[in-house]
Amino acid sequence: MENNNTIPHYDPNAAPVIDINGIKKLLPHRPPFLMVDRITEVGEDYVVGIKTIGVNEGFFIGHFPEEPVMPGVLIVEAMAQVGGILVLHNLEEPERYSTYFAKIDNTKFKRKVVPGDVLVFKLTITQPLRRSIVCMHGEAYVGDTLACESDMVAQVIKNK
């Protein structure tokens, strides 16, 4: 897929570009807070990541027992993790760095995310890494429907 404004295609039978073990090498997050299952595409300025929403996700216990809905802040967190993979994947020696949320803007939730949904994230760099800061635009789809979008700023910090 070229980097454009098209809805990302997800083929569950295709091998990931980065599997869960590769994701764990790039991100410090671990279950239950690791919210990316696989990366299906990665380019110089964009990435496509997947999160399958299982009925046994811990947050569904209290949000909401009779009508489970994934909390919006966790959709944004998952989006940020996918964005972190994009930034780190393009660095030399990515294991020496971490990304941190610095700012989110223009976040819109357009569809509920419920058990059984597959979130397909597309993050695109809008301003390249400069002075440890990178800007991205993220979109989260369920099928062909936009569920959430947000602009975000991340800071890239060298690990201690």
Alpha-carbon 33 to chain mean position: 12
Q: What's the pLDDT tens digit per position in 23-40?
A: 999 999 999 999 999 999
E strand segments, the chain: 38-42, 46-52, 97-109, 118-130, 133-142, 145-158
CATH class of 20-158: alpha beta
pLDDT digits (tens, 9 = 90+) for 54-84: 999 999 999 999 999 999 999 999 999 999 9
Give yes or no for residue 2 having a pLDDT over 60.
no
Q: What is the pLDDT of residues 93-107, one digit of tens each?
A: 999 999 999 999 999
Residues annotated catalytic, as ranges: 63
DSSP letter for 18, please.
Answer: B
Q: Break the chain into its structural domains and give their ranges.
A: 20-158
Residue 4 has what pLDDT? 57
Query: How confident is the model over 102-158, as pLDDT tens digits?
Result: 999 999 999 999 999 999 999 999 999 999 999 999 999 999 999 999 999 999 999
